[in-house]
Structure 1
Amino acid sequence: MQYSLDVSVDVLLARYCMAPEYLYPTALTDCFDVYKYVLEHENITPDHVVFSGDSAGAEIAITNCMRLREESPELQPAVALCYSPVVDFTNVGADEDTPYCLLTDSFVDNCIPMYLRNVTDVDERRMVSPINNSLRDLPPVFLQWGTLERFYEQGLRFKAKADAEGVNNMEFDFLQNMVHDAVMFPVAISPSTDKAITNGCAFAAKHLAPVLRAKLSAFSAGPESEP
């Protein structure tokens, strides 16, 4: 790979509280707090961090990038990798043309209202959806959907919004003939999974390589000699 580096990677999985026991915005806040804790207590800088999530976790990654943009832009991660995110919570009853999707009509259309049942204000409920927020001034974001999945049409609309806003640091990857959350399948069962994972990793490496190489060069040079 053009951007490959010989580096070690630590993975932190946020064990956030899930619906139906815990409703919006508990999961978002849990992940946000975990990230802030890691930065404060583990001597890690934001430019070494990659947010990554699939399905609901991908939406959490996007939304927390948006929250950081408003509250602490200097703490934005280096990259966000988002696989099959739901970006429009108002898009219910829209899988008539996706019969192969793993997410059935009844599952999605029951889960979303339940997850958001504490959000009663119309304007607030609208802004819960990432697609109804500005996509500018976010870190580089990789977004992937399968063309056979429930949220494929959402992905197309999200790309159209990014294009309309002049956003140039997002990469949209639409996998032909793949269903929701292609990265979760074993490669032995779905050879396309390897491509799905590799595409995201290549995007992360492209953006992390300059940062890591610069810091490696500075470390190798050692402290500047005093005059």
Structure 2
Amino acid sequence: MASPESQDLVNLYKGWVAAMQAQPDMPLEGIRKLFSHWGDVTVDPPGVDYIEVDVAGIPAMWAIPKNSAQDRALLCSHGGGYVVGSMYTHRKLFGHIAKAVGCRALIVDYRRAPENPHPGPVNDMATAYRWLLEHEKLAPSHIALTGDSAGGALALTTIARIRELGLPLPAATMPMSPWAGWDTSGKTYDTNKDKDALVSRDTTEGLGSLFIGNGDPKDPLANPLYIDYKGFPPIYLQVGDAETLLDDSLRIAERAKAAGVDVRIDVFPEMQHVFQFLAGNAPEADEAIQRMASWVRPKIGL
């Protein structure tokens, strides 16, 4: 049974949906302001410092836990349909993950759609990965990717992009509730429509169209359902079973396993979209982050 604390995320999401329904013509800046409160449900992790940095012209933020390994890193991509969210909304979430793993985390404030539609975000993330290799002198075997929702998709599509660029691949990736972009073919859009407090077909239609612009919704760099996963590093997916996006994660896992990739997927009962935001607040989020840390630490040599 879901913890009482997990209701905080449900309440947050229902408040956003009600506000947007009450003002159907809410401007984009108004929607971004709503979503700027995503991190309100996350407890600030003690012992983590945050330093903003320029990554080859892209704003980013280091989350640096006390006494953490400096020669390992997580490359983090925030969610928000590529349209909302930022390194600030996700600072505490990725701070918790970095602290649990015991290394630094680089949170990339990739340029968002519609100002910067596909393939802008995935290219920005690939630039940040190259920066870790060249500027920070990190070994690819000491880097893991993680992200949530659209950022969870980027934790997969970025690997496809850096493979295209001929760069060495990272050690592992940990997508949380990855979003298949402008694609509503998942059956859980129907079966979970009354359980998911935030994401609906309307949500995906609205954000997806802004993200894709004039591009192809089935581009593997925009939709992780279409990636050729052969040769990918190990993947650990987490998703809530109340999510409309549950089927996206299940199908990604199936596709990657069929390509011979080492895949783990954990489905958390009664959990909402990116329930890990409840870190420090709800036990389900803390357990999920500990599972991520236990899985990835040996992958990056910790």
Q: Is TM > 0.5 for Structure 1 vs Structure 2? A: yes
Q: Aligned partners of 2:186, 2:209: CA distance in 1, in Å?
A: 12
State the secondary structure of the residue aligned to 2:202: helix
Q: Aligned partners of 1:80, 1:138: CA distance in 2, in Å?
A: 9
Q: Does 1:17 align with 2:116?
A: no
**1:26-52, CA deviations, whole angstroms, 9 ceiling, x for partnerless residues?**
111111112212211122111111111
Identity fraction in percent: 26
Paired AA for residue 18 in structure 1: R
Paired AA for residue 71 in structure 1: L
Match of 2:191 among 97, 101, 108: 97
The residue that corresponds to 2:277 in the other structure is 184
Q: Does 1:148 align with 2:242?
A: yes
Q: Aligned partners of 2:271, 2:232: CA distance in 1, in Å?
A: 27
TM-score, normalised to structure 1, is 0.79
- The answer to whether the 8 Å contact 2:218/2:226 transfers is no
Q: Does 1:117 align with 2:213?
A: yes
Structure with the greater alpha carbon radius of gyration: 1
1:178-217 superposed matches below 5 A: 178-188=271-281, 190-209=282-301
1:116 to partner: Cα distance: 0.6
Q: Aligned partners of 1:156, 1:183: CA distance in 2, in Å?
A: 18
1:1-227 superposed matches below 5 A: 7-8=68-69, 9-73=103-167, 75-87=168-180, 89-91=182-184, 95-98=189-192, 99-101=194-196, 102-119=198-215, 125-127=218-220, 128-167=222-261, 169-188=262-281, 190-209=282-301
1:71 to partner: Cα distance: 2.7
Paired AA for residue 208 in structure 1: I
Q: Aligned partners of 1:85, 1:61: CA distance in 2, in Å?
A: 8
State the secondary structure of the residue aligned to 2:158: helix
Q: Structure 1 residues 193 and 76, CA, compared in 2 at 3 Å: closer, same or farther?
A: same
- The answer to whether the 8 Å contact 1:93/1:109 transfers is no
- What residue ranges of structure 2 are gaps of 5+ in the alignment? 1-66, 70-102
- The answer to whether the 8 Å contact 1:92/1:109 transfers is no
- The answer to whether the 8 Å contact 2:150/2:181 transfers is no
Q: Which structure dedicates a bigger proportion of its chain to strand?
A: 2
Q: Structure 1 stretches (4+) deviating beyond 3 angstroms?
A: 124-128
- The answer to whether the 8 Å contact 1:146/1:182 transfers is yes
Q: Aligned partners of 1:162, 1:31: CA distance in 2, in Å?
A: 21
CA RMSD across the alignment: 2.1
TM-score, normalised to structure 2, is 0.61
Q: Aligned partners of 2:173, 2:143: CA distance in 1, in Å?
A: 9
- The answer to whether the 8 Å contact 2:182/2:205 transfers is no
1:163 to partner: Cα distance: 3.2
